[in-house]
Amino acid sequence: YLQDKAEEYSEVMQQVSGGDLTQRMEQDGEEASMDQIATEFNDMIEELEKTTGQLKSYVDEVEQAGAEVESSAATVRQASEQVADSIQKISDDAYDQKDRLDELQTAMDTLADDIEAIADQHDSVDMSDSLAEIREVADELDTLTELSQETMAEAEEVAGAAEEQAAELNAVSERANDLQRYAQPLRDILERFETEAEHEFVFSVGPTGGAASPSSQDDDE
């Protein structure tokens, strides 16, 4: 009996070592010591099956989360790069406009000086209104120049922040890619093991974390 039972247990162990974690040793109540071995073995394999099933689901979620992070990071990175490029172009155009404003302001000041000189030379000519209007336009151009400078400075900060975000998201995307790559060897090993569906766990990878089995999820629903 003991020899037959030992061979039976040995066959179960071979199947388990081959990756079939669904196998169990049968207890028949004939020999307490053999039943004890079966109990301990079955408990151990039960725990191993649960752990392996949990890890399989964990790897699935890790790979999925990594792919989603990589995809999201790539999308946001592309948007950030587009924002940086657009703002840079706007900033370049603003520099051109500022240069033109500076030229116009200089021309206005020169014109005002010329009008003032003519008025000084000819007492009979009243050009005070024209001079005042030109000075007013020159002042407005000066205000526009200052606002342009402030706007360009702010735009460059935004562009710089967008470029920094794009660079950071590059790093995030690379790490997400590494995460998927590192998970693959673990998956390859876990694929060797066969487990029951009831021992496959569903992981929730996210801000709250945690894991739940299908049965517990059904109970919650």
Tokens of 193: 């093991």
pLDDT in tens, 20-37: 888 999 998 888 989 999
> What is the torsion angle, in degrees rounded to the nearest 10, for the CA atoms of residue 99, residue 102, residue 108 and residue 114?
-110
Lowest-confidence range among 145-149, 158-162, 194-198? 194-198
How far, CA to CA in Å, does 120 sit from each of 108, 110, 134? 18, 15, 17
Distance CA 205, CA 54 (A): 13
Phi, psi of 125 (to 5 degrees): -100, 120
Radius of gyration of the chain (CA): 39
| Residues 177/70, Cβ–Cβ less than 8 Å | yes
Cβ atoms of residues 119 and 128 within 8 Å: yes
DSSP 194: B
- For residue 150, what pLDDT is reported? 82
Tell me how many degrees the CA angle 207-64-46 measures, rounded to the nearest 5: 85
pLDDT tens per residue across span 156-184: 887 788 788 888 888 888 888 888 887 88
- Summarised one tens digit per residue, pLDDT across range 85-142 is 887 787 777 778 878 888 888 888 888 888 878 877 877 767 777 778 877 888 887 8
Q: CB–CB of 27/36 below 8 Å?
A: no
| pLDDT reported for residue 216 | 46
- How many residues are given for the chain? 221
Are the beta carbons of 62 and 205 closer than 8 angstroms? yes
Q: How confident is the model at residue 60 (pLDDT cuts 50, 70, 90)?
A: confident
Three-class DSSP category at 69: helix
Q: Is 55 helix (H, G, I), strand (E, B) or coil?
A: helix
Q: Which helix (H) or strand (E) holds 202?
A: strand 202-203
pTM over 0.85? The answer is: no
